Structure 1
Amino acid sequence: MIGVAVGTMALVVVLSVFNGLEGLIKDLYASFDADLKVMPRLGKSFEVDEEFLSEMRETAGVEILTEVIEDNALVRYGEHQVVATLKGVSENFLQQNRFEKGYFSGNKSLGEEGRPQAILGRGLSYFLLLDLDDEFELMQVFYPKEPRAGSIDPASMYNRSVIRPAGIFSIEKQYDDEYLIVPLGFAADLLEYGNRRSALEIKVADGYSIEEVKYRLRDQLGEEFIVNDSNEQHASLLMTIRLEKLFVFLTLTFILAVASFNIFFSLSMLAIEKKKDIAVLLAMGGKRSLIKSIYLKEGAIIAFSGALIGLLLGFLICWAQDSFGLVSLGVTSSIVDAYPVRMKWTDFLYTSLSVVLITLLASYRPALIASKVNTTSHL
C-alpha cells in the first residue's frame, strides 16, 4: 500500500510541475505576444491600406489592432554592435498588457514623433553594454539597401537612423537576446517598407473567445493569410513540453508496474500459506469464485487505498510548493524563485486509473492460484 501511495504521489507531483512549467511559458509569452497574429502565407510582408485595416478593426471581438514591421538590422551602441530583430509597432502596442510578466526597467514608452525611443531585451543590452542613464549616447540602426549598379559609395548601400534607448525587458532568452522594439514610423522609414507590414497583432475583447475570433478572421481574410493564436505561435516548444510530460508519465507508470510485482508475490505467498484455510472453506460449501473474489478484493483494497493516500499526499505537496515555494529553482536571476506547479484534475484521473489497473492486474494471478486449490490434498 505504501509503495502504491509513493508511486502515485510521484506521478501527481511530476505531472503538476510540467503543467506549471507549461503555464509559466505561456504567461511569459503572453506578455510579449498578442492574442492573435495575422501573417502572410507567402513572403514576409503584405500591403495594407486604411480600408483593409478598418475592416479588421470592425471585426467582432477585435479590441486593439497593432501594425507590425519586423526584420533583421544591425544595431550599434558606442563601440559595440550586434544583429538584432527590429520590431516596429504602432502606438497601441503597449496597450495590450505588454511586459506585465518578467522584468522591466526604464521608461515603458516608444517616444513621440520626431523623438523615437526603443525598448530592447536584456540580453541585447548586455551585448551592447547599454547604459540607460547616458543621455548623450544614442543607438544607431543600419539596414542594407538593394544594391545599385555603378555605386562605389559605401554609405549608399545602407540606411542609417538613430534612436534613444528607453527601457529594457526580460521575458525569455530568445526574446531577450534578439528584439529591439521601435515605433512603426521609425521602422517603416529605415526599412523602406512604405505601406507593407510583416504582421498584424490583435487583442481580443473581453467577452469573446479567442478561438471564435480566430476562425472569424480566417474566414474573412481567406487563404492568403495565416491567423495564429498564442499557442500556435509557439507550437513546437509547447509540443516538446507535452511530449516530455507524456514520456515521464509512461516512465513512472512502468516503474509502478515493476513495483507491482511486490503485490503479486505477496498475494501469491499468501495464497500458498492459506491453502489449508482455503480447503476448509471449500469443504464447508464455499465456491471457488468466493475464494477468487477474496484475493481480488484484497488487491482492490491495496490499489484504492494506496491511490487515495498517494493522491492526497501529491495534492498537499503541490499545494505547499505553490503556496510557500519549498523547492527553489536555484537561479538568482530567474523570473520565478521556485518551481511552478499547476494541478489538473485530468492528471489525478489518469494517474488513479493507471495505478488501480496495474494493481488489479497484479492481483489477478494470485487470486486464480488460490481458487484452484485441491481440497482433498490439504485437509
Structure 2
Amino acid sequence: MNVPFLIAKRYFISKKKRNIINIISIISMVGVAVGTAALIIVLSVFNGLEDLIRSIYGSFDPDLKVTSVEGKGFEMNEDLLTRIRKTPGVLIVTEVIEDNALLRYEDRQMVIKMKGVSPNFFAQNKIDSSVIEGNYQLQRGGNNYALIGRGVQYQLSIRATNAIVPMFLLYPKAKASLSLDPENTFREKPIMVGGVFVIERQYDDNYIFVPLDFARDLLAYGNKRTSLEIRVESKRELKNVEERLGKVLGPKFEIKNSDEQHLSLLRAVKVEKMFVFITFAFILLIASLNIFFSLSMLVIDKKKDIAILASMGASPQVIRNIFLAEGAIVAFVGAIIGLALGLLVCWIQETFGLISMNMATALVEAYPVKMQLQDFLLTGFAIFIITLLVSIRPARAAAATEVRNNI
C-alpha cells in the first residue's frame, strides 16, 4: 500500500471546504492542461509542415542524387553508367545537365534554371501529374519541347498553345571574346513550349525542362553531366542502396537522399520546432508555479496533520513524498486533460481541416498536422521534470516541519 499517495489523493479530492488552496490547485491544473494542449498542437503542426515539405519536393526530387565532389560536372561513360545500373536496388538512372541560361521569348527575357533530362526522367518523377497545360513529353514527332514553370510563363507572358513562336535559350560560350554582337558571345537554340507545370514557387518561377541532347548541345557539355538521378526499387532499401553506390562510385562522387537535398530547409524546421518546445516548456514552468504556491500553503494548512503523522511514526521521507505526490497528482491530472485535448484538436484538424491557411498561394487549404508518439512522450517527460522542480521545495519544508514537531 502506497500510504503517501493515498494521503495525497485524499487531500486532492477532499470536499470539506473550497478554500484558496483548492482554487489555486484548480488554476494550476487548468494552466498545465492548456499549456500541454498548446505544446502538442504546435509540435504536431511542425510535423505536418515537415511532411508537407517532403511531399512537395518529392514530386521533383529523386530518391538519390549523384553529383561530383569537385567541379560542376563530371565525365560520363558507358562503363560508369552500367556499373550504377547493375547496383542491387537501383531501378532507374536518369542523366541530368543543369545550369543557368538566358530565356528569351519575343521581346522579353529572364535568367532561368535549365534542366536537361534523359527520356526516362518522367518514369521516376511524379512531375507529369503537375502539368496544368499542354503535355509533359519533351520529344514528340522528332521535335524538342520545353516544359516550363507557371511562374516563368507568367513573367514572360508565354502562350503555351502557341505553335508558331518559339522560345530561345542562350548560354555564354566558354572562351568568347568581348563583343557587342551576341552571336559571338552566346550560343542560341530555339525550342517550342510543350507544357506548363505547377509544383512549388521555387521551381515554378525558375525551372524549365528540356531534352538532354538539347541541353548538351546548347552548353557544349559533350559527355559531361552535372548529376545522375536514381530511383530505387524499395524505399526501405534506400540506405543500403546509398551505401552500395558509395562503394561503386568512390570518394569523387557525393550521394544525397531526398532529405539531404533539402537539408538546410528541413534543419531549419527542426531547429524552430526545438525552440518552440523550449518556449512552451518555459510557459508550462510558469503555469506550474501555481503548484508551488498551492503546496506551500497546503503545508502551512496541514501542520497538525503532519504532527499527527510524525507522532504515528511517519519518517521525514514519507512526509516529503506525500506532498511530492500531491504536486504530481495536480500536474498529471492537468497533463492528461491537456494531452487528450491536444489529441482531439489535432485529430479534428487532420480529419476535417477546420483551420485554413487563408493564403491564395498555399499548396494546401488547411494547416497540415501530424501527431507523433515521441512528442507526447517528450511532453510528458517535460511535465515530470517541471513538477519535480516546483514540488520539491514545499515537500522538503513539510519534512522539516515534521522534524521540528518531533523535537
With the shorter chain as reference, the TM-score category is over 0.9
CA contact (8 A) 1:74 1:81 kept: yes
More deviation, 44-53/17-26: 44-53
Question: Is the Cα–Cα contact under 8 Å of residues 39 and 198 in structure 1 kept in the other structure?
Answer: yes
1:156 deviates by 2.8
1:125 CA drift (Å): 1.5
* Corresponding letter in the other structure for 2:313: G
State how 1:1-379 maps to structure 2 within 5 Å: 1-99=29-127, 104-112=132-140, 114-148=142-176, 153-206=181-234, 209-373=237-401
- In the alignment, is the contact (CA less than 8 A) between 2:316 and 2:402 conserved in 1? no
For residue 277 of structure 1, report the CA deviation from its aligned partner: 2.4
- CA gap of 1:145–1:375, structure 2 versus 1, over 3 A, is closer
Change (3 A) 1:340 1:103: farther
Give me the whole-angstrom Cα distance separating, in 1, the residues matched to 2:97 and 2:197.
19
The one-letter amino acid paired with 2:125 is N
- Letter of the aligned partner of 1:221 in structure 2? L
Structure-2 change in CA distance of 1:218 and 1:335 (3 Å): same
Q: Secondary structure at the match of 1:372?
A: helix
SS of alignment partner, residue 64 of structure 1: strand
Cα distance in 1, alignment partners of residues 130 and 269 from structure 2:
20
Distance 1:224-1:374 versus aligned 2 partners, 3 A rule: closer
How far did 1:376 drift? Answer: 8.0
Q: Deviations over 1:307-361 (max 9, x none)?
A: 2221111111111111111111111232100110111111111111001210122
How big is the shift at 1:177? 1.5
Which amino acid is the alignment partner of residue 274 of structure 1?
A: K
Amino acid at match of 2:220: E
Query: Structure 1 residues 248 and 151 mapped into 2: Cα distance closer, same or farther (>3 Å)?
Result: closer
Which stretches in structure 2 are left out of the alignment for 5+ residues? 1-28
CA distance in 1, matches of 2:373, 2:133: 38
CA distance change for structure 1 residues 376 and 216 in 2, over 3 Å: closer, same or farther? closer
- Percent of counterpart pairs with the same letter? 50
Aligned equivalents of 2:225, 2:129: Cα separation in 1: 27
Q: Is the 8 A contact 2:319 2:402 kept in 1?
A: no
- The Cα shift of 1:251 comes to 0.7
Distance 1:278 1:154, change over 3 A: closer
Decide whether the 8 Å contact of 1:296 with 1:363 is kept in 2. Answer: yes
Residues 186-234 of structure 1: per-residue CA shift (max 9 Å, x gap): 1111111111111000001137511111111111111111111111111
Distance 1:75 1:146 in 2: 18
**Is the CA contact (8 Å cut-off) linking 1:280 and 1:375 kept in structure 2?**
no
Counterpart residue type for residue 342 of structure 1: K
Amino acid paired to 2:308: V
Greater displacement, 89-98 / 273-282: 273-282
Farther-moved stretch of structure 1 (220-229 vs 290-299):
290-299
Which amino acid in 2 is paired with 1:367? A
Give the CA RMSD over aligned residues: 2.0
Distance in 2 (alpha carbons) for counterparts of 1:45 and 1:320: 49
Using the alignment, how far apart are the partners of 1:157 and 1:363 within structure 2?
76
Deviations 1:27-55 (A, max 9, x none): 11111010000101111111112222111
What is the aligned length?
Answer: 378
The farther-off stretch of 293-302 and 38-47 is 293-302
Q: Secondary structure at the match of 2:259?
A: helix
SS, match of residue 355 in structure 2: coil
TM-score by length of 2: 0.88
Does the residue aligned with 2:383 lie in a helix, a strand or coil?
A: helix
Cα distance in 2 between the residues matched to 1:100 and 1:25? 19
1:154 shift after superposition: 3.4
Cα pair 1:327 1:339 within 8 Å, conserved: yes
Q: Mean alpha-carbon deviation: is it higher for 51-60 or for 166-175?
A: 166-175
Change (3 A) 1:150 1:239: closer
CA–CA distance in 1 between the matches of 2:402 and 2:83? 84
